[in-house]
């Protein structure tokens, strides 16, 4: 039943996404031919605005914006994302049918904030060689030898890794919606 509703929602969404601009453009050409240029131009502008809005929403779902990673960090760790934190590299998988996904990002903070986070979330684990396309994309920019401390949190079927690097300003954040094997 759930799969049917999802399929119905996708079909309905595609009908709106594709059909609305077509109807607006047809109305534009008819109005333009009848001499209603201002109304026709308004419809064309409306069509472009709808297409831009849909594109923005779709891109944000496929390639999440920095705010999504910050909110995920806050929600999963119960600690606010550092105000002076700047996300450097990021990647995330799209949730599968069960809602499982992986998010990975690295961010830089001041040395003071770095030490505060290190005191708030003290190291409790050793480095674990976790593999996924998202993590590899972030780890390509770092060396495993740079990892100084690791904080690991397992909560139900999700796990979080916070890795503090030896430069005392860079932190790697990995979130799994299901516990990775081998760690």
Whether 46 and 111 map to the same domain: the answer is no
Residue from 166, 129, 132 nearest 149 by CA: 166
**Mean pLDDT score, 155-181:** 84
pLDDT of the residue at 49 = 84
CA distance 165 to 158: 23
Q: What is the average pLDDT score of the chain?
A: 82
Label residue 2 by pLDDT band (50, 70, 90).
low
Residues 19 and 83 in one domain: no
**Does 182 have pLDDT greater than 60?**
no
- pLDDT tens digits along 26-77: 777 777 777 777 877 787 788 788 878 887 887 777 778 889 889 988 988 8
Domain that holds residue 104: 66-176
Shared domain check, 57 and 133: no
Domain count, the chain: 2
Domain co-membership, 154 together with 94: yes
Q: Residue 93 has what pLDDT?
A: 82
- Rounded CA gap, 128 and 119, in Å? 21
- Token readout for 81 is 């994302």
Query: Is 156 part of any domain?
Result: yes
The last residue of one of the domains, among 10, 31, 62, is 62
Q: What is the pLDDT of residues 96-123, one digit of tens each?
A: 777 778 889 999 999 999 999 988 888 8
- In this prediction, residue 112 carries a pLDDT of 93
- Residue 126, pLDDT > 80, answer no
3-state secondary structure of 155: strand
Q: Is the pLDDT assigned to residue 1 strictly greater than 60? A: no
Q: How far is CA 146 from the centre of its chain?
A: 25
Q: Are residues 54 and 118 in the same domain?
A: no
pLDDT for 181 equals 56
**Per-residue tokens: 183:** 């760690």
Statement to judge: residues 76 and 165 lie in one domain = yes
Among the candidates 28, 46, 62, a domain finishes at 62
C-alpha 172/C-alpha 181 separation (Å) is 19
Asked whether residue 167 falls in the same domain as residue 152, the answer is yes
Alpha-carbon span 77 to 161, nearest angstrom: 10
Whether residues 73 and 147 share a domain: the answer is: yes
Contacts 24+ apart (CB under 8 A), 108-112: 108/169, 108/170, 108/171, 109/82, 109/84, 109/85, 109/169, 109/171, 110/84, 110/169, 111/168, 111/169
In terms of domains, do 79 and 129 share one?
Answer: yes
């Amino acid at each position: 039943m759930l799969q049917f509703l999802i399929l119905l929602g996708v079909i309905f969404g595609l009908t709106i996404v594709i059909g609305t601009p077509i109807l607006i453009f047809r109305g534009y050409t008819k109005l333009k031919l009848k001499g209603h240029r201002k109304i026709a131009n308004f419809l064309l502008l409306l069509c472009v605005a709808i297409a831009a809005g849909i594109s923005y929403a779709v891109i944000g779902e496929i390639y999440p914006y920095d705010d999504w990673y910050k909110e995920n960090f806050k929600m999963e760790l119960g600690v606010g994302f550092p105000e002076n934190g700047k996300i450097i590299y990021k990647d995330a998988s799209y949730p599968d049918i069960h809602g499982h996904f992986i998010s990975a990002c690295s961010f830089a903070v001041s040395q003071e904030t770095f030490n505060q986070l290190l005191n708030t979330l003290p190291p409790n684990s050793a480095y674990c060689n976790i593999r996924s396309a998202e993590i590899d994309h972030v780890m390509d920019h770092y060396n495993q030898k740079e990892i100084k401390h690791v904080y690991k949190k397992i909560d139900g079927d999700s796990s979080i890794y916070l890795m503090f690097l030896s430069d005392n300003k860079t932190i790697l954040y990995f979130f799994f919606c299901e516990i990775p094997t081998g760690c």
